[in-house]
Amino acid sequence: MSKLTIPIGPQHPALKEPECFIITVDGERICEANMRLGYNHRGIEKRCEEITYIQSAYLIERVCGICSHSHSTAFIQAVEEIAGLEVPKRGLYIRTLFGELERIHSHLLWLGVAGHEIGFDTLLMYSWRDREIVMDILAMVSGNRVNYGMNSIGGVKRDISPEQADAILKAMDDLEERTKYYIELGLQETTLIKRLSGAGSISYEDATRLGAVGPTARASKVDQDVRRDDPYAAYAELEFNVITDDHNDVYGRTLVRLGELMESYKLVRQLIKNMPDGPIRKKGPRKIPAGEAISRYEAPRGEDVHYVKANGTDKAFRVKVRAPTLANLSAVSKMLEGDYLADVPIVIAAIDPCFSCTDRMAVRNIRGGATEMHNPGSLRNFSIDWYRRRGIDFTDLNKKLMKRLERV
Q: Please report, as ranges, the residues that interact with other proteins according to CB under 8 A.
A: 1, 4, 6-7, 12-14, 28, 115-123, 125-126, 129, 189, 191-192, 194-195, 340-345
**In terms of DSSP H, where are the helices of 118-159?**
121-142
Rounded CA Rg of the chain: 23
Closer to other proteins by CB, 6 or 362: give it: 6
- Cα 10 to its chain centre, rounded Å, is 19
- List the beta bridge partners of residue 30: 25
Whose Cβ is closer to other proteins: residue 8's or residue 256's? Answer: 8
Q: Is 308 helix (H, G, I), strand (E, B) or coil?
A: strand
- 71 and 126 Cβ atoms separated by less than 8 Å: no
Nearest distance in Å: CB 8, other proteins: 8
For other proteins, which is the closer residue by CB, 6 or 290?
Answer: 6
- Taking the least distance from each CB to other proteins, the nearer of 60 and 349 is 349
Q: How far is the CB of 85 from other proteins (least distance, A)?
A: 46
| CB nearer other proteins, residue 194 or residue 286 | 194
CB 328 within 8 A of CB 353: yes
Minimum distance of other proteins from residue 4's CB (angstroms): 7
Q: How far apart are CA 107 and CA 178, in angstroms?
A: 13
* 100 three-class SS: helix
- Residue 298 near residue 210, CB atoms below 8 Å: no
How does DSSP assign 65-95, residue by residue? SSSHHHHHHHHHHHHHHHHT----HHHHHHH
Q: How far is CA 190 from the centre of its chain?
A: 30
Cβ contact 261:217 at 8 Å: no
In the complex, the smallest distance separating the C-beta of residue 127 from other proteins, rounded to whole angstroms, is 11
Strand partners for 319: 308
Least separation in angstroms between CB 26 and other proteins: 12
**Smaller CB separation from other proteins, 117 or 260:** 117
Closest to other proteins by CB, 78 vs 123, is 123
What is the DSSP-derived secondary structure letter of residue 10?
A: S
The CA distance from 84 to 124, in Å, is 45
Output the smallest distance, CB 191 to other proteins, in A.
4
Residue 178 Cβ vs other proteins, minimum distance, rounded to whole Å: 12
Distances (CA, A) of 367 to 85, 124, 164, 235: 47, 46, 59, 49
Nearest to 202 by CA among 212, 187, 193: 212
Q: What is the spatial distance between Cα 11 and Cα 17, in angstroms, rounded to a whole number?
A: 8
Closest CB 113 distance from other proteins, rounded Å: 10
Query: Residue 54 or residue 342: which is nearer to other proteins going by CB?
Result: 342
CB 216 within 8 A of CB 199: no
Q: How far is the CB of 190 from other proteins (least distance, A)?
A: 8
CA atoms of 282 and 185, how far apart (whole Å): 46
Select 183 or 384, whichever has its Cβ closest to other proteins.
Answer: 183
CB of 324 to other proteins, least distance (A): 23
Residue whose CB is less far from other proteins, 89 or 116: 116
Beta bridge partners of 122: none
Nearer to other proteins (CB atom), residue 132 or residue 173 = 132
Distances (CA, A) of 391 to 377, 385, 388, 396, 403: 21, 10, 5, 11, 21
Least CB distance to other proteins at residue 338 (A):
14
